[in-house]
């Protein structure tokens, strides 16, 4: 807010959803920053022209979860109408919502998926939750490497570009963990794909917890640490560890290392070493831009996601760890305005 970011767009949306999560965990009611950002857009609806415009709708849905409001609901419905009917909302041959015409990106699963999931829950429309699940799976079919389990950032001219960008993997993992938590994974395919992804990430994770900007040890970006991916992946891993006992220990350890490693880079209340708003890159080194000249709002949002997930999944002092079993007890080319995720 001190940067004057008031748009109905993705960087703001990531931060608003994280703030809404934290407020709910703390029993505080609607977070004042969330209300202050959203309500002006209710009075004058924003222009919806890109999938990234759906991202703030997830926090809007969280406000409606607390209290029904006809004007806020109208804005939520406007987002759903754009998703269903807008000519800009193009689909790939397998039904995946494209980030740009001809390109399927991992970012979309978070920007649109979190919105669809929460809108479906608060409006009592299970078909929207099902659509969020189908979008996640459609994107995974296109973007997940069947050998490594890692996710590529996106496709170009119908081909997956083999750049396993950290924040792309975080968007996918966060959205997937939320779907599993919502009971929207009846077949178990989301869980299976997330386990494959996180197992691969564990093999590449350094002891300090923070991956390079590309998470598979690419020589072109080796040593270029990036914190927002670690914060988001750590949050997703902590949440999944609670939901999936079979993978609990390894996934929990990965999540703890990633969250603590990322938050070690908080300086003056801001997460540092965050990569800039980044379009799909065709070569690995294209992902190397780190922006510390000013706070990156998506980085702050993902840092808040990490804090929220830690609070959700860690026991209060003096209580038993809910993640331990009884047996354990016994023994983007950068865009200056941040327009692109």
Using CA atoms in the order 65, 134, 83, 183, what is the torsion angle rounded to 10 degrees? 0
pLDDT at 316: 61
Q: Specify the pTM.
A: 0.92
Alpha-carbon distance 269 to 262, whole Å?
13
Marked catalytic residue, from 107, 185, 212, 332: 107
Known catalytic residue at 69: no
Bridge partner residues of 151 (DSSP): 144
Alpha-carbon distance 254 to 237, whole Å?
7
Q: How many residues does the chain have?
A: 341
Neighbouring C-beta atoms of residue 54, cutoff 10 Å:
29
Contact status, residue 155 vs residue 141, Cβ threshold 8 Å:
no
Lowest-confidence region among 70-79, 224-233, 285-294, 314-323: 314-323
pLDDT at 245: 75
**């608060």: which residue's tokens?**
122
Domains of the chain: 10-313 (1.50.10.10)
pLDDT at 262: 98
pLDDT at 299: 97
Tens-digit pLDDT profile for residues 89-144? 999 999 999 999 999 999 999 999 999 999 999 999 999 999 999 999 999 999 99
pLDDT at 249: 85
Give exposure, 298-315, as e/b (b: 16+ Cβ within 10 Å).
bbbbbbbbbbbbbebbee
Confidence of residue 338 (pLDDT cuts 50, 70, 90): very low
pLDDT at 279: 96
Mean pLDDT score, 69-73: 97
Mean pLDDT score, 166-187: 98
Mean pLDDT, all residues of the chain: 92
Contact status, residue 151 vs residue 169, Cβ threshold 8 Å:
yes
């Amino acid at each position: 807010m001190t940067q004057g970011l008031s748009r109905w767009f993705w960087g703001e949306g990531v931060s608003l959803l994280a703030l809404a999560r934290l407020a709910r965990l703390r029993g505080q009611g609607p977070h004042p920053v969330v209300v202050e950002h959203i309500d002006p857009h209710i009075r004058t609806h924003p222009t919806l022209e890109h999938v990234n415009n759906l991202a703030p709708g997830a926090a809007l849905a969280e406000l409606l979860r607390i209290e029904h409001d006809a004007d806020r609901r109208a804005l939520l419905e406007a987002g759903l109408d754009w998703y269903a009917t807008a000519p800009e909302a193009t689909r790939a041959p397998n039904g995946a919502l494209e980030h740009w015409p001809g390109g399927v990106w991992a970012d979309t699963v978070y920007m649109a998926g979190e919105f669809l999931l929460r809108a479906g829950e608060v409006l009592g429309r299970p078909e929207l939750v099902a659509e969020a699940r189908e979008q996640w799976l459609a994107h995974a079919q296109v973007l997940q490497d069947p050998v490594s389990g890692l996710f590529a950032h996106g496709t170009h001219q119908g081909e997956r570009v083999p750049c396993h960008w950290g924040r792309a993997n975080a968007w996918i993992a966060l959205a997937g963990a939320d779907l599993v938590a919502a009971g929207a994974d009846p077949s178990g395919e989301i869980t299976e794909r997330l386990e494959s992804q996180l197992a691969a990430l564990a093999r590449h994770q350094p002891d300090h917890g923070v991956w390079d900007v590309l998470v598979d040890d690419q020589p072109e970006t080796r040593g270029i640490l990036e914190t927002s991916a670690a914060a988001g992946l750590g949050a997703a891993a902590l949440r999944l560890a609670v939901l999936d006992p079979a993978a609990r220990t390894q996934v929990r350890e990965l999540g703890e290392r990633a969250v603590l490693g990322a938050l070690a880079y908080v300086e003056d209340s801001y997460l540092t070493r965050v990569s800039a708003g980044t379009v799909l890159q065709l070569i690995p080194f294209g992902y190397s831009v780190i922006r510390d000249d000013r706070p990156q709002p998506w980085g702050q949002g993902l840092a808040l996601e990490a804090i929220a997930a830690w609070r959700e999944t860690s026991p209060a002092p003096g209580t038993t760890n809910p993640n331990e079993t009884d047996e354990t007890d016994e023994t983007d080319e950068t865009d200056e305005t941040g327009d692109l995720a």
